[in-house]
A and B are shown apart, each in its own frame.
Chain A
Amino acid sequence: MSLIMPEPDQLTLDNSESIIADLRKISKNVLSEEEEKAVYETDGLSVHRQRPIAVVLPETTKEVSEVLKYCYRNNIKVVPRGAGTGLSGGALPLKDSVLVSLGKFNKILDVDFDNRCVITQPGVTNLSITGAVQHEGFYYAPDPSSQIACSIGGNISTNAGGVHSLKYGVTTNNVLGIEMVLIDGTIIRLGGKNLDPEGYDLLGIMTGSEGLLAVITEITVRILKKPQSVRAVLIGFNTNDDAGNCVAEIISSGIIPAGMEIMDKPLIIATDNFAKAGYPRDVEILLIVELDGTESEVDTLINRVLEIAKKNKASYNRASESDEERLRFWKGRKAAFTALGVISPDYICMDGSIPRKKLGNVLNEIASLSKKYGLSVANCFHAGDGNLHPLIMFDSNNAKELKKAEAFGADILKYCVKVGGVLTGEHGVGIEKRDLMCEMFNNDDIQQQLSLKKAFDEKSLLNPGKVFPVLHRCAEEGRVHIHKGKTRHPDLPRF
């Protein structure tokens, strides 16, 4: 599949061998054989593949600094990579780039319960942080579904969320400090075990910057004490509108659930078949609401939620009576992507965020687009924070279906923007949604973001071709984007 990326620099390609030799003087972990590089040729957006000149796996911040300094002096592009689980192609190598993998930065450096934080290297997985503190009853709040595999450094790059972000925030609300290396090799430490920045909030701008501003080599995150009690309730509805109204009423009644998830019928059936979660099969929409706090608080809130559900014509409800039952409620939802893989050869996972009250409209629009394109779709939705993941099913053996699925996906995202939402809630722009940026931003907006990029990386060597349209003016890119619609929204891995 064609993808417009920055033009490779011929001089760099011609000098590949000497570049590899120079890199070996800096790091003992330089991969240059084709089969070694194959592992790194793609990330979670596996339809695009490209091998870099070399892959470097530095072991220290100093090594990262030396590699970047070398690349900066020699005008070589650099692509940083965490665990490679990203769904938007943010870690896709460029042909004339050096890929810097943080895979060897895999240690937790300090667990500090008194200051309620953990200092870790960026290659550590999200779930390992909770693993390191749970014996004292603490946990790290952001919980993207890939948390068993995704790295905390990658989480910062995409400002990863999860199912509990309405109450506990996304990555940016849970990071206290980082050490980072600029493209010219400068090492800078931001924040630490204290709160709020001195001067500009550079930590805030680094979070969600998709590897375009600096390479992160150390991270301090805050940890939270686990709540005393957690319960969940399953609520079924016969229409999208009833479910949407129930969600809105729960929120406006002053309840902030720890998690609030919605699945539509195709996904209820698929996940229940797969995970035996015990979901009701005669409802059109299923809502899972999780509440946490002290025992009496949770019991009170569960009753309030059930009352609101009844008022909004819920046809089914069940509150968990044990932690086993609560975990069973989640088992289906958490297996959504895997379960769908069983019923469809391929699917595309979209990631728009919308105002909660537009949920009914958006689901209805998706249903009519599904008819228009002749492709099935299943929907899961982080209803608490408005983050929608429509899963468009198709068969990649049929080239026409892939093209249709991509156009379908783009139409959903455009509709999300139209109703006041955004292109991506938690997966990042990467290369996948790069050409849709002009749906949300005008030329001045994009130019300001590009100017900021230059403050960090004047030569645009760090992760070029990502996030922003390759042609810098939206008007020009708009033309390209209309003619070359086929370059967007490829299929995704199933993990």
Chain B
Amino acid sequence: MAVIALLIGFSFIIAVGFLAAFLWSVKSGQYDDKYTPSVRMLFDNDKEIK
């Protein structure tokens, strides 16, 4: 059963990784504007009209 202690260690490290990712995403401003990106991604890329 000692393996469970090891597994818990790993799961905890992974969870810490996700927490860090979340904190980083907040810091980088992903949650500052929650609307505009949803519109922006729908715009077509420029088509060259000759």
Q: Is A bound to B? A: no
Chain B positions near chain A (C-beta within 8 angstroms):
none
